[in-house]
Amino acid sequence: MVENPDRYTKNPKGDEQPEQVQWPSQTDFAPPPAPAACPACGQVTSGELSCQFCGQALFLPKGLPLSTIGLRFGGYLLEGVLFVFTAGIGWLIWALFLFPQGQTPAKQLLQMRVVHIGEQHTARFWRMFLREFIAKPVIAILATATFFILYLWLFWDRNRQELWDKLASTLVVSDRQGLLRPPPRPDSAQ
């Protein structure tokens, strides 16, 4: 066995001794998040993005549950219908106007929004662009190699994320009350 000569240090007498490895102590690591009550249903949750009982996104205001699997599936179908009826170009223009609000055309009609987990607010234009035009095509390529099983990821994920949501660090929530609607822009003419 060959040892690395750089791992030796010299003591004051000139003898070479193996270098002492410093292992991190348990105090060097952050403690796990303390259990907290869900603001919507009051159930105790620990270390999750969403309540496993009512679906409330825990880092967002009360009243913003994760979108259901059925609503997400309906969104995929509606997205396809809108794409076909607008010849793709209309959908693209509509989508580019909605991306800063964390929506696509179908998500706008179904009152859903995409939320960036890291910043804990509505996904912005470039996050939506990454999600829709980079992550989704990459997952589509991988899904064809796995007989489309990757498209079923939503069914067993605890936070109802598809793989492109994981790549873009996003969640899809139902925003029926418009709680995540961006504030109106001040008029520049005034």
The dihedral formed by the CA atoms of 133, 158, 150 and 96, expressed in degrees to the nearest 10: -10
pLDDT tens for 166-189 read: 999 999 999 999 888 877 767 655
Query: pLDDT grade, residue 163 (50/70/90)?
Result: very high
Q: Do residues 104 and 74 touch, judged by C-beta distance below 8 A?
A: no
Residue 19 confidence (pLDDT) above 80: no
pTM for the complete prediction? Answer: 0.75
Distance CA 79, CA 111 (A): 13
Q: In what order do the strands lie in the sheet with 121-122?
A: 121-122, 112-116, 170-174
pLDDT tens for 102-139 read: 999 999 999 999 999 988 889 999 999 999 999 999 99
- Domain spans in the chain, listed from the N-terminal domain onward: 39-174
Mean pLDDT (whole number) for 49-72:
90
Q: What percent of the chain is predicted at pLDDT more than 90? A: 51
Of 90, 93, 112, the C-alpha closest to 101 is: 112
Beta carbons within 8 Å of 76's beta carbon, 6+ residues apart: 106
